[in-house]
Amino acid sequence: MSEIRIDALLPQEMATRAEYLGVRKAEMPFLKMFMLAVLAGAFISLGAIFATTVGAGSISITASGGETAFTTGFPYGFNRLLIGLVFCLGLILVVVGGAELFTGNNLIVMAWASGKVKGRALLLNWLVVYLGNFLGAMGTVVLMFFSKQYLFGSNSVGIAALRIAVAKVEFTFLQAVALGILCNALVCLAVWLTFSARSTLDKIAAIIFPITAFVAAGFEHSIANMYFIPYALFIKHFDREFTALVGDKVAHLDKLTWESFVFNNLIPVTIGNIIGGAVLVAAIYWAIFLRPSDG
């Protein structure tokens, strides 16, 4: 009878597991890899939808006479905490449901550094998964646009979506790279922690704090931004009546363009995500646990 263990795997065992999974991911058939990547893009978008909706919430303070005295949002830190917690849905769906996420797949570098995955296979996985993630996110953007969910909460959801996107395209190139590095260091640490898990609950618990931290701190995730920014662009360009109605509530809306999405956010954030995940997490843990000893 096989032994049943409930204790978490130790870091050395986690590294071996990460290496093994890296090989499995790199050797996955193209169609399966791409379809799972499309799912991951959609899953992360679902987390973004949840976060946008929660971020649109507000508190109404009602006077004794029944009329609303004033309306205010949650304190900044508390609001960011809530948004971060609900965004965890995306990575939970990816890890537990099974999908291929570009940022998490930066950990394949551990198998590559051990010589078990060729550089070509690593880069091909990243390219296929990145494109699949983009397709899944854009499909969710189209579906969400036609749902008109941005009109909910007396247009507050749409206003929140526009404000989020505008803020993301106003970063300088270097700032976006730095925010991307910090983000994927935490994302890959979340995935790394799930390698210690022996149950679904373990995996979910491992995900919550690192993902909540990166969202609450305002770090930048390239795949999430494939939803956040195009969704706002769809609203801006394809519902001009709505944009005219709420435009005065969204500062610098003119800066939100497809060009600013690509050059001010997607490219630098993707570069930062690769550095944060492949170098600061994968390469360092490989050097600690998997690098061949001199002796």
Any domain includes 1:
no
Among 144, 140, 145, 138, residue whose Cα is nearest residue 242: 145
Any domain includes 2:
no
Q: What is the pLDDT of residue 4?
A: 54
3 state SS for the chain: CCCCCCCCCCHHHHHHHHHHHHHHHHCCCHHHHHHHHHHHHHHHHHHHHHHHHHHCCCEEEECCCCCEEEEECCCHHHHHHHHHHHHHHHHHHHHHHCCCCCCHHHHHHHHHHCCCCCHHHHHHHHHHHHHHHHHHHHHHHHHHHHHCHHHCCCCHHHHHHHHHHHHHHCCCHHHHHHHHHHHHHHHHHHHHHHCCCCCHHHHHHHHHHHHHHHHHHCCCCHHHHHHHHHHHHHHHHHCHHHHHHHHHHCCCHHHCCHHHHHHHHHHHHHHHHHHHHHHHHHHHHHHHHCCCCCC
Q: What is the pLDDT of residues 202-250, one digit of tens each?
A: 999 999 999 999 999 999 999 999 999 999 999 999 999 999 999 999 9
Q: What is the pLDDT of residue 3?
A: 53
Any domain includes 175:
yes
CA distance linking residue 105 with residue 1, whole number of Å: 35
Those residues of the chain that have pLDDT short of 50 are 1, 59-70
CA distance linking residue 105 with residue 22, whole number of Å: 8
Domain of 120 in residue numbering reads as 11-59+70-289
Q: What is the pLDDT of residue 184?
A: 98
96-100: which pairs have CB atoms within 8 A and are 24 or more residues apart? Answer: 96/200, 96/203, 96/204, 97/39, 97/43, 98/36, 98/39, 99/36, 99/37, 99/39, 99/40, 99/43, 100/25, 100/28, 100/33, 100/36, 100/37, 100/39, 100/40, 100/129, 100/132, 100/133
Any domain includes 120:
yes
Q: What is the pLDDT of residue 293?
A: 80
Any domain includes 185:
yes
Any domain includes 75:
yes
Side chain identity, residue 152 = F
CA distance linking residue 102 with residue 168, whole number of Å: 20
Q: Which residue has the tokens 């994968």?
A: 282
Q: What is the pLDDT of residue 75?
A: 86
Assign residue 207 the CATH number of its domain.
1.20.1080.10
Q: What is the pLDDT of residue 63?
A: 42
Any domain includes 5:
no
Q: Indicate the burial class of 68 (C-beta count within 10 angstroms; 0-12, 13-18, 19 or more).
A: exposed
Residue 68 has φ and ψ, to the nearest 5°, of: -75, 125
Domain count, the chain: 1
Any domain includes 19:
yes
CA distance linking residue 197 with residue 210, whole number of Å: 15
CA distance linking residue 183 with residue 10, whole number of Å: 24
Torsion of CA 117, 119, 123, 124, to 10 degrees: -60
Q: What is the pLDDT of residue 59?
A: 45
CA distance linking residue 125 with residue 119, whole number of Å: 10
Q: What is the pLDDT of residue 7?
A: 76
